[in-house]
A and B are shown apart, each in its own frame.
Chain A
Amino acid sequence: MQLTLRHTLRLSLGTPARAVAHVLLTPPSTPQQQVERWSIDMPGIAEAASFRDGFGNRAQLVSLVKPAGELLVVAEGRVKTIDKAGVLGRLQYDPVPALFRRATALTGPDAALLDGLADGPDRIALFHELMGRICERTAGQSQDTAGQSQSQGGDATAADRTHAFLGAARALGAPARYVTGYLLDDGGTAAVHAWAEAWDESLGWIGFDPTLNLCPAESHVRLAAGLDAMSCPPLRTVPVWLDGPAETVEITAG
């Protein structure tokens, strides 16, 4: 599916003499998506240092000298998504999968979620079971992916569910990582989103979206991956912004 995306963040840093921003707003081309064009517009981006971070993501370090009261960041472009039934496989700059067995403060295991589960030969079935359990448990909660603080890449619900998935998968011995990106839902609403990828020895990385109880296909656009929401937010700044950024995402298909 051909998607045209535009992601806008507005934030205020106050009026420091200098600010720096760590930007993870560059979607990679993968078996699931081909990036046809992409650009980030913000003050200082032309002189930014561009590099790979420890998780294999394309990152930019942007400096802002005497930033204006309001900072506007716009990431936009065209991406063709391809349905691979959630299978991402192996990416060139991926670190060793074992790294994503590291437990973090946000990905503590939940005993209730793990009840009766064990790592076995069919890991994919196990991941589906986990995803299903998380959805079932949170069935009463809103699945509305828009409208909440999105500063950590995905609304609180998606982030919490993804962390629950990661904590459980890692506790079972499976590498699993946090993924940030965009989602175009069935109603045509676009949002910043987050989901998980879990490791299978034969297929590589496979996406699991515990918010929607499905494997990401043509409606998900992947930005970056990390250990948890803290390790790969789309934007991080020093000084920290005063108000959570006002964000809008527009996606049009076709």
Chain B
Amino acid sequence: MTNVDGSIREPYSILDQWLKQQPAEAMGVMAADAEAIFRRLGITFAVYGSNEGTEKLIPFDIIPRIISAVEWRRLSKAIEQRVRALNAFLHDIYHRQEILRAGRIPEKLILDNSAFCPEMMGLDPARGVYSHIIGVDIVRVGPDDWYVLEDNLRTPSGVSYMLEDREAMLQLAPDLFQRLKVAPVDSYPENLRRTLDSVAPPGASGAPTLAVLTPGIYNSAYFEHSFLADQMGAELCEGQDLFVENGKVFMRTTMGPRRVDVIYRRIDDDYLDPLTFKPDSMLGVPGLFDAYRAGNVTLVNAPGTGIADDKAVYTYVPEIIEFYLGEKPLLKNVPTYNCTRADERAYVLEHIAELVVKEVHGSGGYGMLVGPTSTKEMHDIFREKILARPDNYIVQPTLALSTCPTYVESGVAPRHVDLRPYVLVGDQIRITPGGLTRVALKQGSLVVNSSQGGGTKDTWVLED
């Protein structure tokens, strides 16, 4: 919120005044109100490996994060560039693989990658779009200095928190919305619907039938699946609610079978279809992938999009942008050490206490090491892990993440944040202003994942 010299950054000046005007006890009351609102909305998430009941309330911080109009324009242009390049990359990887032939990315990194899906070769999805729903995790380390931490092109979650955080703020601080012109986010479900409609297979009727395919109530994001289906007027289905007949996908309804044109699937590739992928999957729909290949249904996102957000492929995204678009990347990558290279590995092993180690296929903040906040024992454990499987880890420096004022027990204090803007790709690219701001609630912590004690806050993009 503040500049290096301690002055208030311009977009925050009105918020700062507002905070100062609040009576001492007002913030505590507001935080309690917020909790009541979220309990009523029923927003919960599941923490894997936790014993205290599976459902938890995600911590919400009542102080919004603010991004200026100018800053957002620049940022959204940069994000758009990135997602265009990544979709071009996916098309190439599943067709002629020019980028591999040109030697710009090592062939083995792609072809032997478990996220690469050979069954996708030669497939042309509607409008040539592979990843329609993308979340790009970015952090700010200085004024207008943004870095991408990771791309999420499989099934990014969290958009329901973005929407509900806004809903809660509108109730908690209506007067602030009078003073500041905040770009709305509530068109997301409608834009999602438009995006999905626009990628219906050519044979689909005028108003395509959409389904959200969920693994079921035990999934950590089940609330979101049902929320999004409800918000955009789609059917929420589990695998058993769908079936394939004569190459087409149908939904069981009380009125009889109904043809499905577009499936927003929140089931991982491996479990989508036991006929093509894991034969023992009970979550998927037998024959679904073949129906997709036959052009009778659109899967959103396409299987095999994970090859574009693989943590090892991440290091090549600047190359990918230059190769397909002929442009300089507008968003920076975090410098990343490749542990399969002896010199870089040696550096990593020596400096592990200063670095962040992530599993190549990990997510949700599980299985990672944040050097500066970890014990010597943990450093040693990760040194051994890296030596045993150097290709399984990427290592990055800890960044001086920006902080945002956050209401904690001791009052308002700075806490580290990241930002996940949500991008929709169909007939056009639509980016919801702002996104989900995740905040590390523990003092000094850099891990913002909700599964690791992170919370969220509303994100305000100011309009001119």
* Residue positions of A touching B, CB distance < 8 A: 18-20, 22, 44, 47-56, 59, 61, 63, 65, 93, 95-96, 98-99, 101-103, 227, 231, 236-238, 240
Contact = CB atoms under 8 A, between A and B. Distances in A.
Given A22-B275, A98-B97, 13 more contacts: A22-B287, A49-B246, A52-B122, A54-B119, A55-B118, A95-B121, A96-B96, A98-B107, A99-B97, A101-B107, A103-B112, A227-B118, A236-B275
A95 B107 CA distance: 15
B295 interface: yes
Contacts of B123: 54
A52 B290 CA distance: 9
B171 to A, nearest CB: 48
Secondary structure call for the B interface: loop
Between A54, A55, A63, A231, the greatest number of chain B beta carbons within 10 A of the residue's beta carbon is seen for: A54
Given A98-B100, A238-B274, A63 B245 contact: yes
Interface in B273-305: 274-276, 279, 286-287, 290-291, 293-296
Contacts of B287: 20, 22, 61, 63, 238
Interface residues of B, number: 33
Nearest to B284: A238
Nearest to B274: A238
Contacts of A48: 246-247
Between A20, A50, A227, the greatest number of chain B beta carbons within 10 A of the residue's beta carbon is seen for: A20
B246 A99 contact: no
Contact of B247 (A61, A98, A240): A61
B217 interface: no
A112 B245 CA distance: 48
A61 B291 contact: yes
Contacts of B100: 98
A120 to B, nearest CB: 19
A48 B97 CA distance: 31
A51 B275 contact: no
Between A59, A98, A231, A237, the greatest number of chain B beta carbons within 10 A of the residue's beta carbon is seen for: A98
B172 interface: no
Given A98-B100, A231-B118, A236-B275, A63 B293 contact: no
B121 A54 contact: yes
Nearest to A50: B294
B243 interface: yes
A63 B294 CA distance: 14
Contacts of A54: 118-123, 293
9 shortest A-B CB distances, which residue pairs? Answer: A49-B247, A20-B287, A61-B290, A49-B294, A238-B286, A54-B121, A47-B246, A51-B294, A95-B121
B372 to A, nearest CB: 38
B122 A51 contact: no
Nearest to B276: A22
A59 B111 contact: no
B91 to A, nearest CB: 13
A44 B290 contact: no
Secondary structure call for the A interface: mixed
Contacts of A227: 118
28 contacts: A18-B243, A18-B245, A20-B244, A20-B275, A20-B286, A22-B287, A51-B290, A54-B120, A54-B121, A55-B121, A61-B244, A61-B247, A61-B290, A63-B244, A95-B121, A96-B96, A96-B97, A98-B107, A98-B111, A99-B111, A101-B111, A102-B118, A103-B112, A227-B118, A236-B275, A237-B275, A238-B279, A238-B287
A99 B118 contact: yes
Nearest to A95: B121
A65 B275 CA distance: 16
Contacts of A51: 290, 293-295
Interface of B: 95-97, 100-101, 107, 111-112, 116, 118-123, 243-248, 274-276, 279, 286-287, 290-291, 293-296
Contacts of B119: 53-54
Between B111, B116, B120, the greatest number of chain A beta carbons within 10 A of the residue's beta carbon is seen for: B111
Between A19, A102, A227, A237, the greatest number of chain B beta carbons within 10 A of the residue's beta carbon is seen for: A102
A54 B118 CA distance: 6
Contact of A22 (B97, B290, B295): B290
Contacts of A65: 245
A229 to B, nearest CB: 14
A98 B108 CA distance: 10
Between A54, A56, A61, the greatest number of chain B beta carbons within 10 A of the residue's beta carbon is seen for: A61
B290 A49 contact: yes
Contacts of B276: 22
A93 B275 CA distance: 23
Nearest to B244: A20
B121 A99 contact: yes
Nearest to B98: A96
A222 B10 CA distance: 70
Contacts of B244: 20, 61, 63
Nearest to B246: A47
A210 to B, nearest CB: 23
A112 to B, nearest CB: 22
Contacts of B293: 51-54, 59
Contacts of A95: 121-122
A238 B280 CA distance: 10
Nearest to B111: A102
A215 B90 CA distance: 36
B284 to A, nearest CB: 10
Contacts of B246: 44, 47-49, 63
A98 B101 CA distance: 9
Contacts of B107: 98, 101
A240 B279 contact: yes
A113 to B, nearest CB: 20
Contacts of B122: 52, 54, 56, 93, 95
B212 to A, nearest CB: 22
A231 B277 CA distance: 10
Nearest to A51: B294
A228 to B, nearest CB: 11
B37 to A, nearest CB: 45
